[in-house]
Structure 1
Amino acid sequence: MNIIKKFSNTTSNVIFNIINSVLVKGIAIIVAFLTIPAYIKYFDNNVTLGIWFTILSVLSWILNFDLGIGNGLRNRIVTTLAQKQEEKTKKYISSAYIFLLIIAVIVSIITCSLSLIVPWNNVFNVSNTDVSSADLTFAITIVLLSIMLQFILRIISSILYALQLAFIPNMLSLLTSIILLIFVMYSNAYLANHNIIALSLVYLLAVNLPLLITTLVIFKNRLRAFRPSIHFFDFDYAKDTLKTGSAFLGLQLEAMIINNTSIFLITWLLGSIYVVEYNIYFKVFSLVSTVFSLITVPIWSAVTKAQSEQNYLWVKKTIRVLQLIAIIFSVVQLMMLPIMQFLFDVWLKENSINVDYEIMILFSIEQSVVIWSGICASICNGLNELRLQFILMTIGAILIVPLAIVFTGILGGYYGVVLAHTIALLPYCIGQTIWLEKYISKNIIKVKKEAILK
């Protein structure tokens, strides 16, 4: 930690969060690898397991419909906390919580009502013999309610990011994963497994309890003076947060379409049984982009702070470091391919699959593109420069589904969806990288001229 003190305050905070995040994520990776074989044992067939993965993937999309308030709040209170504007901070936090609570209640009533009448077996392309209609509807409704609770409770994550405590949300996710793993393993050993309803109930508790406890602890201690209160609700502040976050909402929705529809597209185009093999590959290869995201998460708020100080030289140096790390990660990923079969056999044991090196290369390329897009997103979000992002992500969102249909038809497998995802992200990666280089260089020159004139 003495080494960290030698850096600037902004860099020190980033490094501190990265180190803690990597430690937490290292444990999370182990838990994730243990969870897949435990899930395979929990469900009696891959069809049901594929449905569970798809349910979580599809319903978690709803979390993106917070109207961008979480990200808007994050960017706003970075400034108000730094400038010690307590009244504004109170109003921003209270207004965000109350506004999202109102939205969550309305959305819950609508979505839960629809959930009871939607023919989910048809939606997920699964027969009643694999999962009964009643069980599937009940399970989806429970997970839906869980997502609605997260809708409100997850605001604490945005606040923690603004406080430069980005590693804590990772700890909460880890705790959720541990609770789910313990339940599945215990159920496999002592209870009647295969129960998708029981797993849904545990999921509801595992996701929301850590968020609730953290919220209570943070507002009882560090943010005691900023506790959410109806007395500090101000529609103008809610509107301002909404205005700041509305651009983020558009990006969230487009990112959701591009990055979070693969499982749904595979289920829709090929069937849920193919989701399991896809998820096995994805769990392994997404480790690289997941670890890299631990680096970029604290960068966002740090860039916002650097911009307020007109420290664009720091931003440029940060971009170069991130790009170098991205290249190293991509090369290491390819170097790991020869030992993948061994790793799969050790990990999945009797449930292991025969690896396909062409598919693995495709996943490696996809994750390299995801990493690069993460660099662009973290820097541009911190700079609050969203217009070009929106345009380029719109192109990707338009391309993803037709590309998936075409490539799945040509290649005859789920890897067509992986290829479609990769190509859909390329316009964003290329266009945003070029723009970012010009923007940073222009502002560095501008700041230098202003310093000379002074």
Structure 2
Amino acid sequence: MKARSAKAIKNVIASMIFKGGSILISLILVPMTLSYLNPYEYGIWLTLSSVLTWVYIFDIGLGNGLRNKLTEALALNDLKLAKIYVSTSFFSLLILVTTIYLLFILVQSWMNWELILNVDAQKVQNLSYIVIIVFTFFCASFVLRLIGNIYMAYQQPAINDLLSLMANIVSLVLIYLCTIFTEGSLEKVAIIYSAAPVLIFLLAYPVTFWKLKEISPSVYWVRFGYLRELMSLGIQFFIIQMACLILFMTSNLVISQMFGPESVTPYNIAFKYFSLVNTGFTIIINPIWSAITDAYVNKDLIWIRKAMKKLVLIWLGGIVLTMIMVLMSTNVYKVWIGEDIHIPFVLSVLCGFYVSIANWNNIFAYFINGVGKVRLQLYSSIISGVIFFPLAFYFGSVWEIAGILLALCVCLLPSAVWAPIQYWKIINCKATGIWFK
């Protein structure tokens, strides 16, 4: 118990440093990129990257499935099984991403990206070419990012945060050089942002498996028969990821379609500001998922109870911080990005409300994911994904951009009720039926 807690605390402290650096860089990158592009082009990039993020869900949940199964194998000290899980996941994803990329190249010529993103073709040149380049880098990072799931299974999420920090540093340096030596270019920005993570994860791959030789992927250890174990939980994670992606990633596309690409910019600036609270909370709870898996396998429910109580107290502190950020938001925006872009106060209020609900849900989602009882979460995510679009278009037509955020908040509310109930039932050994699937 003490070793698990010490490891979690150590990773939280390290993650605070690495994630803090990433946050600082991302905040600097916003005005820097805005000065290099105009709000219209910047909005296009934000929308395009959101759309292409869909590619990450096509691991069919293998990433999270590997995270849970690898944690279980390590908890039982079964390194042979761990190596099989890693090898099977890596080579299955490699086959999958190659298939996805070839299909994309085949259908790309029939896709009208100007129409999809609601872009004026006169204002942006070579959009299809930019999409192909960015998609290529997204696919390259598809398999490589599995390294992050491995570190999380080892209860070392701080290393994954370090890799993200290094990618952000590369982006910052290259964008800064572009602002000095080149004219504004959406193409250059898109390539830099999408290529930087690929470069870092490509360098991290041999280092990772030199350090973790006992589980390094090998064709010899591929056992496609084990895909069923990985996929039984993984396919549920996949559907949950898809539903969450509909909620969180398509909002940019909805805003672009309803109000134009330039409206994506203020929405994302407000979102990025309040995501500081969400990111900070994620740093704290990130080690919890795999730690809970380890504790649950070893039947250490006392440790789980204590950890969950501490997280609720931290969440309450986050509520206070969020309220302060809402009150300061107008002045913060002026200092951060200047006065050229107006962000309505109601947008800040709703962003604060959204991150508070999201953090509350994440406390219990990480527990539920850790113990692998995700069926109820699966059904709830599907329902939320289905009702988001009609709510977004209705609220958006009434309250404009703020209405999109309101729709997100409404979709999160049901989970805020049932997830704590499921936790209580499982931790007290009273869960039956859907509550224990």
TM-score interval, normalised by the smaller of the two chains: over 0.9
Matched, 1:55 2:48: yes
How far apart in 2 are the matches of 1:201 and 1:365?
34
How far apart in 2 are the matches of 1:88 and 1:240?
11
Q: CA deviation at 1:350?
A: 5.3
Letter in 2 for 1:59: L
How far apart in 2 are the matches of 1:441 and 1:131?
58
How far apart in 1 are the matches of 2:339 and 2:347?
21
How far apart in 1 are the matches of 2:133 and 2:303?
46
Which residue is 1:269 aligned to?
258
1:26-62 per-position Cα deviation (integer Å, ceiling 9, x unaligned): 111111111000111111x211110100111110121
Q: How do residues 376-391 of structure 1 correspond to structure 2 at under 5 angstroms?
A: 376-391=364-379
Letter in 1 for 2:21: I
Q: CA deviation at 1:201?
A: 2.7
Give the alignment's TM-score, normalised by structure 1.
0.92
Which residue is 2:12 aligned to?
18
How far apart in 1 are the matches of 2:327 and 2:82?
53
Matched, 1:416 2:406: no
Which residue is 1:452 aligned to?
none
Matched, 1:299 2:288: yes
How far apart in 2 are the matches of 1:332 and 1:296?
17
How far apart in 2 are the matches of 1:18 and 1:52?
32
Local SS of the residue matching 1:336: helix
Letter in 1 for 2:66: L
Matched, 1:244 2:233: yes
Contact 1:408 1:417 in 2 (8 A): yes
Letter in 1 for 2:39: N
Local SS of the residue matching 2:96: helix
Matched, 1:191 2:178: no
Contact 2:239 2:382 in 1 (8 A): no
Q: How do residues 415-434 of structure 1 correspond to structure 2 at under 5 angstroms?
A: 415-434=402-421
How far apart in 2 are the matches of 1:116 and 1:30?
39
Q: Tell me how large the CA RMSD over aligned residues is.
A: 1.6
Letter in 2 for 1:151: F
How far apart in 2 are the matches of 1:232 and 1:239?
16
Which residue is 2:77 aligned to?
84
Which residue is 2:201 aligned to?
211
Q: CA deviation at 1:340?
A: 2.2
Q: Unmatched 5+ residue regions in structure 2?
A: 432-437
Q: How do residues 23-422 of structure 1 correspond to structure 2 at under 5 angstroms?
A: 23-43=17-37, 45-132=38-125, 135-193=126-184, 195-221=185-211, 223-349=212-338, 351=340, 353-411=341-399, 413-422=400-409
Q: Unmatched 5+ residue regions in structure 1?
A: 1-6, 445-454
1:67-100 per-position Cα deviation (integer Å, ceiling 9, x unaligned): 1111111111112223232221221111111111
1:111-134 per-position Cα deviation (integer Å, ceiling 9, x unaligned): 1222232111111111111112xx
Contact 2:396 2:404 in 1 (8 A): yes
Letter in 1 for 2:196: A
Give the alignment's TM-score, normalised by structure 2.
0.95
Q: CA deviation at 1:354?
A: 4.5
Q: Percent identity?
A: 30
1:247-304 per-position Cα deviation (integer Å, ceiling 9, x unaligned): 1111111111122221111112221110001011111011111111111211000000
1:211-263 per-position Cα deviation (integer Å, ceiling 9, x unaligned): 11111101112x11322111111111233212231111111111111222211
How far apart in 2 are the matches of 1:436 and 1:227?
35
How far apart in 1 are the matches of 2:195 and 2:86?
25
Letter in 1 for 2:410: I
Q: CA deviation at 1:414?
A: 0.8
Local SS of the residue matching 2:428: helix
Which residue is 2:427 aligned to?
440
Q: CA deviation at 1:205?
A: 2.6
Instruction: Count the aligned residue pairs.
Output: 431
Q: CA deviation at 1:358?
A: 2.3
